[in-house]
Amino acid sequence: MPALSTILWVLGGLLIGYVLWKSGVGMLRGFTSPLPPPPPAGEMRKVNVRYRCTVCGLEIKLMLAPDEDPPPPRHCMEDMVIQAPLYD
């Protein structure tokens, strides 16, 4: 026969675990919320721009965007800076 305090500890632990689990599920739901569908391919603009992450130095090349002047992507929690546009 376990002591009453032991039973209370176990119940408290179960309650905390349940709350954590529920909040974790809520966070997962927030991350997996559906994104808006991409516009039709015909409405995409061909762009040729390089972006650089000022924090880690990563560079990417953007080739398709919904408009001519897309907002910069983010990396390392910062807006990436635009490099000279490439024309080929």
Binding-site ranges for Zn ion (CB under 5 A): 53, 55-56, 58, 75-76
Question: What is the nearest approach in angstroms of Zn ion to the Cβ of residue 45?
Answer: 25
Question: What is the nearest approach in angstroms of Zn ion to the Cβ of residue 78?
Answer: 7
Write b or e for each residue in 14-42: b if 16 or more Cβ atoms lie within 10 A of its Cβ, otherwise e: eeeeeeeeeeeeeeeeeeeeeeeeeeeee
Question: What is the nearest approach in angstroms of Zn ion to the Cβ of residue 60?
Answer: 10
Round to whole Å and give the CA distance between 47 and 79: 18
Q: Which is nearer to Zn ion, 67 or 79 (CB)?
A: 79
Q: Which is nearer to Zn ion, 49 or 53 (CB)?
A: 53
Q: Which is nearer to Zn ion, 14 or 55 (CB)?
A: 55
Token pair of 60 as six digits: 């990417």
